[in-house]
Structure 1
């Protein structure tokens, strides 16, 4: 088992792949149907980007990508929106549209039987039939399966992001490694040294370090917002009408500032907006920038998301960054697989 090859399904901008690469785990290709992923994926990782709908990917396609590898690793993070708490109200039978993506993952796993499989998703995926069908299919085909909810802060990610991680092997027991850090990394440690900005200002040398503009009322709101506080701290005249209503009383986490000496909240696809969560900068009167969000997702500071002369689409890049597997979590998953491979070699 000297040659290892990994293929990353639903690879996005390359968070999981980059974690694997930093741990010396060879990734040969990433597959995603979103063309916006191609540049950041290929610019930062020595791997091929395949733009294709997962339902159209065949076993032959995957076999060609794996080549003559002695040990094949199939990784994937099916888009998590269908399994989120917010989306559950729209659930039908769990097998239509995006709900079916795990079944496509299962189809490919059955067809090529890779040595190791890993999947990452939101914790609530475990509540759904599709997840348990996925696990059962792997077990029926000879895999030992481990899965559990992982706290990303315990693996060096500076945000409170809990994720379901699954590891499966055809060669014996496999599990996630123990936490790699004793003390969670804080917002200050992650972004405290970045250039100060005002709302709407852009850093001259980093296209992603640009903050969204704020309306006059939102500028007033952020100025009276406390780190870790909520809109309930504001003077009455600044409180939004939707929050005055009974239905809005239970949403205290919007329009909030992060705290310097704690991990950030979970990054979402709209983390660049002050009103979209607790995404206000701890002390500067603005929302966090795309670069700050990427760093909180544990992408390296120099991770390139747009070409040198390319335009920055805040909405598109927010989606890529918010949906990414945190790089440090990817590294921990890679270390878990490497440890398992070492154990396999010792047995043989």
Structure 2
């Protein structure tokens, strides 16, 4: 699945357009690699976080920008990236997710064949959940780039996409058409698709992601990033033994807790051990246990209680509900403070002091691309050296009030508020299911 190619930059001046940018995980990754980026995000609170972090942002609907303002995007952008919303692609339950995947594959083929946007948009309006259509947006942006006079009809050189493992089948179909059919103007790409585990790239949590890396033909064969850390393997203590058994694997209470330095390779030259919560959160001075109430990426061995010497379970919007237990003595624990948003962000590999802002901050953290993982994806896609994780251990320097005002003027249209061009909050709620509508009408 991976290779060990020589790292050689394939672009003189990479510039990333980050679709569905969230609070900035992929943009922080680009920052670490010294690559400029512009994010498009429609959630107001996520945009407030981005402004506070000093990230170039458009507070807008990705689809609306493509239809109405594509020519206003910087023509220098040559890397398309993002992770479209995935809620409608779950393969669990009644099979609706599989039906959605099959529908979208048909639309992909029609877009590549040159069907008109107007015709396809009209049909997409009939979908039961409009978010289903959003996974088409990266492809539609790639096509639009070739039709843009402002860009000189120049296609994107690189495409980087990531989502939950259930979307791998869709990325595989993307790859098939990008390689064999090409965009309507004839542009073709070499593509790699796979499912990667974030802990194997130094992120202190277990999280599996389906990824796609594509390079325009002529820019060299793409490759998936080589793991730098070992994969997490569940130990006997979290296979049903619970908190009591986990205690026996805790360090002594007087053992000093300091983060171990993360280097490129272990002593033997192989991958390093995975990064634990203890290493990621040096501010937690006492040994601790964490109890989550769900599995991680479909692996039963990753659910339940974990010690601070293990990676976190997948960080989602429920991270604030994780119960954290601390030691009173060798055999007694008590419920301690839950993870702060700063700590939750650090478990996602965000730098300390990242300026989480607005509401639903836990959801912002859980929805974000882990920056260290994103940096590995971008570095592989662009032929850059493997990112240094130490760059994400330094506290983030937030934007000044003047810088925030300037970013918001560009992103929202006003220095201190949203404007009519910004998405309305009421348009951001997912559509109600039929059963929900019946309950409301009955109430």
State the TM-score, normalized to the length of structure 1: 0.71
2:108 is equivalent to residue 64 of structure 1: no
Q: Deviations over 1:217-244 (max 9, x none)?
A: xxxxxxxxx947789xxxxxxxxxxxxx
Moved more, 287-296 or 321-330: 287-296
Deviation at 1:192, TM superposition (A): 3.8
Contact 1:103 1:134 in 2 (8 A): no
2:213 corresponds to: 167
Query: Residue 330 in 1 paired to residue 374 in 2?
Result: yes
Residue by residue, what CA displacement relative to the aligned partner does 1:295-332 show, whole Å, maximum 9, x if unpaired?
A: 100110121112xxxxx64xx11110000000100111
Range 35-44 or range 282-291, more displaced: 282-291
1:203 corresponds in structure 2 to: none
Alignment of 1:178-257 (within 5 A): 178-181=226-229, 182-194=272-284, 227=289, 256-257=304-305
**CA distance in structure 2 between the partners assigned to 1:12 and 1:87 by the alignment:** 27
Q: Per-residue CA shift, 1:56-101, capped at 9, x if unaligned?
A: 222774453232x2x6000011123223455775434344422221
Q: What displacement does 1:164 show?
A: 1.1
Contact residue 290 and residue 307 of structure 2 kept, 8 A = yes
1:103 aligns with: 136
Name the CA shift for 1:42/1:195 in 2 (closer, same or farther; >3 Å): farther
Cα distance in structure 2, aligned partners of 1:285 and 1:163: 32
C-alpha displacement of 1:155: 1.1
In structure 2, C-alpha distance between the alignment counterparts of 1:62 and 1:17, rounded to whole Å = 20
Alpha-carbon contact 1:257-1:280 (below 8 Å) kept: no
Task: Determine whether 1:32 maps to 2:41.
Answer: yes
* Equivalent-residue separation in structure 2 for 1:34 and 1:87 (angstroms): 28
Residue 133 of structure 1 and its aligned partner are, at CA, apart by 3.7
Q: Is the 8 A contact 2:215 2:381 kept in 1?
A: no
Please, which of 45, 51, 59 is the counterpart of residue 42 of structure 1? 51
Q: Is the 8 A contact 2:203 2:275 kept in 1?
A: yes
Task: Describe the superposition over 1:16-60 as per-residue Cα deviations: whole angstroms up to 9, x where unpaired.
Answer: 110111111211x1011211111211222442x112222222277
- After TM superposition, the runs of 4+ consecutive aligned structure 1 residues lying more than 6 A away are 228-231, 251-254
1:285 aligned residue:
335
CA contact (8 A) 1:257 1:281 kept: no
- Name the CA distance, whole Å, in 2 between partners of 1:87 and 1:109: 33
What does residue 80 of structure 1 align with? 86
> How far apart in 1 are the matches of 2:14 and 2:280?
33
Q: Distance in 2 between matches of 1:59 and 1:326?
A: 29
Whether 2:9 is the aligned partner of 1:9: answer: no
Q: Distance in 2 between matches of 1:3 and 1:33?
A: 27
Secondary structure (helix, strand or coil) at the match of 2:383 reads helix
Q: Distance in 2 between matches of 1:46 and 1:252?
A: 37
Cα 1:26–1:334 shift into 2, 3 Å: same
| Distance in 2 of aligned mates of 1:155 and 1:114 | 27
Q: Give SS of 2:73's match.
A: helix
Distance 1:229 1:64, change over 3 A: closer
> Following the alignment from structure 1 to structure 2, what is the Cα–Cα distance between the partners of residues 177 and 107?
26
Secondary structure of 1:321's aligned partner:
helix
State how many pairs are aligned. 276
Provide Cα deviations, 1:275-296, integer angstroms capped at 9, x if missing partner: xxxx535656143232221110
Q: Quick one: structure 1 residues 4 and 83, their matched pair in 2 at CA, closer, same or farther if it must change by over 3 Å?
A: same
Structure 2: which 5+ runs fail to align? 1-10, 105-126, 146-154, 183-187, 230-271, 294-299, 328-333, 386-443
In the alignment, which of 297, 302, 309 is matched to residue 261 of structure 1? 309
- In structure 1, list runs of 5 or more residues that go unmatched: 197-225, 232-250, 307-311, 342-348
Q: Is the 8 A contact 1:5 1:66 kept in 2?
A: no
User: What SS does the corresponding residue of 2:15 show, helix, strand or coil?
Assistant: strand
Pair 328,340 (structure 1): closer, same or farther in 2 beyond 3 Å:
closer
Q: Does 1:93 align with 2:100?
A: yes
The C-alpha deviation readout for 1:125-177, integer Å capped at 9, x for no partner, is 124xx444422332222100001111111111000111111100102311122
The answer for the alignment partner of 1:124 in structure 2 is 166
Residue 269 of structure 1 contacts residue 320 of structure 1 at CA under 8 Å; is this kept in 2? yes
Change (3 A) 1:136 1:10: same
CA contact (8 A) 1:294 1:321 kept: yes
SS of 1:280's equivalent in the other structure is strand
Partner of 1:51 in structure 2?
59
Question: Is 1:136 equivalent to 2:176 in the alignment?
Answer: yes
Taking only aligned residues, the RMSD between alpha carbons, in angstroms, comes to 2.9
